[in-house]
Amino acid sequence: MNLSGNTVLITGGATGIGLGLAAAFLRHGSKVIICGRREHKLREAQAKHPELTIRVCDVGNERDRVALYEWAVAQFPDLNVLVNNAGIQREIDFSALAEEAAEPDAEPMGGAQDAVQAAATARPAGAWQTAEQEIRINLEAPIHLTALFIPHLIRQPQAAILNVTSGLAFTPMARMPVYCATKAALHSFTLSLRHQLRHTAVKVIEVIPPMVDTELDQGARARRGQTYRGIPVDEFIQGILPGLAQGLPEVAYGTAERARTMSRAEMDEAFRRMNG
């Protein structure tokens, strides 16, 4: 795809990979709109890159998604690139749910993040609420936004939909079952969407990161004592830009590129190593 001359909307664009993509598109002369749930993070991003247009939006909320679409196409009629990047990642141990019967009144200890984790690992209701939020943000939102924006995008001379998945879509990490499942589902959806739009001007591209050092699940990484937090965002962005410029349908980097091209036997072996 052409990285310049676009009008790009990036969900979850205030930090991490979303902000890295926003900066890259700006450097190549594109107009960029980012949205996110936290206004202060959006304003911090805009302070770094004054050319950005920002919009507060919780893509996990259906009304917010509709409002985002209506605002975006009204304010930016030349909008031609949608980047479905927003995502959350949670640890949910479904094997621990039976413990609720033994300790139904157990209170979570520690801060807010620990409370979320305790709810997810000890109580069925908490586990479902956590899982449902992941499904809404990671899968429901990109599918709904795609459905909303396609009638607009299909009228543009050149257009693209970029779905950000994960190397974990191919080889899941069992401690994050719902996150990995949503990314695998988004990978599948992207394949089908690309096939359905193959005769249009809308290119459908999957961006597949490895572990990248972002805010994603940093609290859980710290609790696990995990010292390696992933590759720097800038390294990942620089690693995928050539593939985007070439118009590759799937653009991965590092371990995610290896995961994308594994045989089934290799995937099974990787799963055993990762979850040993």
For the chain, the average pLDDT equals 90
Taking the mean position of all CA atoms in its chain, how far away is CA 82? 13
- Ranges of beta strands (E only) in the chain are 7-11, 31-36, 53-56, 81-84, 159-164, 202-208, 250-252
- Single pTM value for the model: 0.88
Q: Are 197 and 176 in contact (CB under 8 A)?
A: no
The verdict on residue 39 lying in a domain is: yes
Q: Are 259 and 270 in contact (CB under 8 A)?
A: yes
What lies within 8 Å, CB to CB, of 275 at 6+ separation is 173, 174, 175
Residue 256 maps to which CATH number? Answer: 3.40.50.720
Interval 188-192 mean pLDDT: 98
Q: Is the pLDDT of residue 274 over 70?
A: yes
Interval 87-94 mean pLDDT: 93
Using CA atoms, how far apart are residues 67 and 154, in angstroms rounded to an integer?
20
The verdict on residue 131 lying in a domain is: yes
Tokens representing 272?
């055993």
The verdict on residue 244 lying in a domain is: yes
The verdict on residue 17 lying in a domain is: yes
Three-state SS for 31?
strand
pLDDT, tens digit (0-9, with 9 covering 90-100), for 201-245: 999 999 999 999 998 866 666 676 766 779 999 999 999 999 999
Using CA atoms, how far apart are residues 107 and 93, in angstroms rounded to an integer?
17
The verdict on residue 122 lying in a domain is: yes
Residue closest to 41 by CA, chosen among 79, 8, 86, 102: 86
Helices 233-246 and 16-27, axial angle in degrees (round to 10): 50
The verdict on residue 1 lying in a domain is: no
The verdict on residue 2 lying in a domain is: no
Task: Look at residue 257 in the predicted model and tell me its pLDDT.
Answer: 93
Q: How many domains does the chain have?
A: 1
Domain of 261? 7-274
The verdict on residue 203 lying in a domain is: yes
Catalytic residues: 179
